Amino acid sequence: MLHGTSRTAKIAGMAALAGLMMTVAIVAAVQPDEPAPAPPLGLPADEGQARLARELDRCASLTMPDSGCEAAWATNRRRFFRQDEPPPEIERGSDTAPDEGARP
C-alpha cells in the first residue's frame, strides 16, 4: 500500500511548525508592550459647517431639483475653492505712478 507522505516527512513538517510557533511566542514575549496610539482629536465644527453638512446629506438623497440644495452646493464649492475669503492685498512700493518722461 502506497502512502501520500512518509512518516519522516510528517515529523519534519511538525517540527518546522513547532519551531515557527516557538519563534512567534519568543518574539511576542520579548517585545515590550506599547499602548495603542491615541485616536486623533477631532476639532468641533462650527454650527455653520455642521448645518451645511446636514443640508448636503439631505440633498444627496433627493432626485428632484431643489433651490436650497443648489445654494448649499454653491456654498460648498465656494468654501472648497476658498472663494469666500478676500484676496490677499498686493504690496506696492509707492502709491504714485512713475514719471513717464523720466529716463534712467
Residue range 67-95, pLDDT digits in tens: 888 888 888 888 888 766 666 676 665 55
Number of domains making up the chain: 1
Task: Examine residue 59 and state whether it is found in any structural domain, yes or no.
Answer: yes
* Integer CA distances (angstroms), 35 to 25, 31, 32, 38, 45, in order: 19, 12, 10, 9, 29
pLDDT of residue 86: 64
Count of beta carbons in the 10 Å neighbourhood of residue 79: 14
pLDDT of residue 1: 43
pLDDT of residue 55: 87
Task: Examine residue 63 and state whether it is found in any structural domain, yes or no.
Answer: yes
Least Cα distance to 81 among 70, 91, 71, 73 occurs for: 73
**Which DSSP string corresponds to 20-47?**
HHHHHHHHHHHSPP-PPPPPPPPPPPPH
Q: Which residue range forms the structural domain that includes residue 64?
A: 47-80
Using CA atoms, how far apart are residues 78 and 22, in angstroms rounded to an integer? Answer: 60
- Ranges of residues in the chain with a pLDDT under 70 are 1-4, 36, 38-45, 83-88, 90-104
